[in-house]
């Protein structure tokens, strides 16, 4: 008999592949749902019959639809996502160029979020019903309700324009200019991180509260263990499993949600790429970026599930 964890892995992988197939169908359908002729729309004023035919056959849109779908899936699996309607560059190359900027922002955001949310959420749960818990809850509600782009603009107004401490916008690559990279990362990272911190704090608080209500925590307390041991060894440690999941989901959400923040800070990542592509009706780029972000989303969820199974034996056995 195969090991339970292998079976769990196989089941999760099969499930992710089914969802991936659905994602591919949606992304493929995107360009076909456009009312009118996407090639014609994309060419706009640059339209000539020759340019039209060239772009149409280059993007494979002159083939029968079923053939197009399998062609798209086949190419996508080998990393070929077509060429940009706008400048003819391969979409895969464009995406690879943009990924580091978005990854820097997402990682900075999640690190800032955890630095705030872990202590705040745990503190709040352990002091349930007290004033400090109330303050944390209200603050996190405020954070969830602030539009991120508004916060970004206010942060720029305060720290860049008024105080002159940090650059207003732009990006420097980590390898070329580490100091400039960090300077440019602070404000967009804070914008993403503060909103994510508000969401994470709420989940971490309820995860800890849920564990604190468990029988084994009561047992630990009633057999006379010190509050510190009960808190850290029994409560917080067991709450780490759901916290891990939430952090993973939050990271995936940030990857797909940084569009507006990237626009505010002129950050050359995937989000701003999608935004510009939507404005220019550059469908292959939209398709490629949406596919990449959805795949990253699935991948992060899969990794979280696997870590979950490694950390918590009950899950892989059920």
Binding stretches for another protein (CB under 8 A): 18-19, 22-23, 25-26, 30, 33-35, 129, 141-142, 144-150, 153-154, 156-157, 161-162, 252-253, 255-257, 259-260, 263-264, 274-275, 277-279, 281, 283, 286, 290, 293-294, 297-298
The angle subtended at Cα 316 by Cα 312 and Cα 318, nearest 5°, is 110
* Sign of the torsion formed by the C-alpha atoms of 195, 198, 199 and 200: positive
Q: Phi/psi at 198 (nearest 5 deg)?
A: -60, -45
Least CB distance to another protein at residue 149 (A):
5
Nearer to another protein, 95 or 294 (CB): 294
Judged by DSSP in three states, 90 sits in strand
Using alpha carbons, select from 241, 256, 247 the residue that is nearest to residue 110. Answer: 247
Least CB distance to another protein at residue 12 (A):
13
Nearer to another protein, 142 or 232 (CB): 142
**What letter does residue 163 receive in the DSSP assignment?**
S
Residues 315 and 318: their CA atoms lie apart, in Å, by: 5
Residues in the chain: 318
Q: Phi/psi at 2 (nearest 5 deg)?
A: -75, 155
Q: What spatial distance separates the first Cα and last Cα of the chain, rounded to whole Å? A: 16
Least CB distance to another protein at residue 148 (A):
8
Nearer to another protein, 134 or 173 (CB): 134
Nearer to another protein, 185 or 274 (CB): 274
Least CB distance to another protein at residue 301 (A):
8
Residues 316 and 30: their CA atoms lie apart, in Å, by: 37
Least CB distance to another protein at residue 295 (A):
9
Residues 252 and 268: their CA atoms lie apart, in Å, by: 19
Nearer to another protein, 230 or 296 (CB): 296
Residues 184 and 195: their CA atoms lie apart, in Å, by: 19
Least CB distance to another protein at residue 5 (A):
23
Nearer to another protein, 138 or 229 (CB): 138
Least CB distance to another protein at residue 179 (A):
26
Residues 249 and 196: their CA atoms lie apart, in Å, by: 11
Nearer to another protein, 133 or 181 (CB): 133
């Amino acid at each position: 008999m195969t090991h339970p964890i292998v079976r769990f892995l196989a089941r999760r992988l099969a499930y992710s592949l089914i969802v991936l197939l659905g994602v591919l169908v949606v992304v493929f359908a995107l360009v076909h749902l456009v009312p009118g002729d996407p090639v014609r729309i994309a060419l706009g004023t640059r339209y000539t019959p020759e340019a039209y035919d060239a772009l149409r056959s280059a993007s494979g849109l002159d083939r029968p639809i079923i053939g197009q779908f399998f062609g798209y899936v086949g190419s996508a699996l080998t990393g070929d996502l077509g060429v940009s309607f706008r400048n003819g560059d391969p979409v895969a190359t464009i995406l690879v160029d943009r990924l580091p900027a978005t990854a820097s922002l997402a990682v900075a955001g999640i690190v800032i979020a955890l630095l705030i949310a872990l202590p705040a959420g745990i503190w709040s749960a352990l002091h349930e019903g007290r004033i400090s818990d109330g303050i944390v809850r209200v603050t996190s509600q405020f954070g969830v309700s602030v539009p991120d782009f508004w916060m970004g603009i206010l942060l720029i107004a305060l720290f860049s324009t008024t105080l002159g401490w940090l650059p207003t916008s732009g990006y420097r690559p980590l390898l070329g200019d580490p100091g400039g990279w960090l300077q440019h990362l602070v404000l967009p990272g804070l914008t993403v991180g503060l909103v994510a911190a508000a969401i994470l704090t709420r989940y971490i608080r309820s995860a800890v509260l849920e564990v604190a209500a468990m029988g084994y925590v009561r047992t630990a307390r009633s057999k006379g263990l010190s509050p510190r041991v009960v808190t850290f060894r029994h409560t917080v440690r067991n709450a780490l499993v759901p916290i891990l999941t939430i952090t993973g989901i939050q990271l995936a959400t940030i990857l797909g949600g940084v569009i507006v923040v990237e626009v505010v800070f002129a950050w050359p990542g995937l989000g701003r790429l999608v935004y510009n592509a939507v404005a220019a009706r550059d469908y292959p780029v939209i398709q490629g970026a949406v596919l990449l972000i959805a795949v990253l989303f699935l991948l992060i969820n899969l990794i979280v599930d696997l870590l979950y199974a490694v950390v918590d034996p009950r899950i892989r056995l059920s």
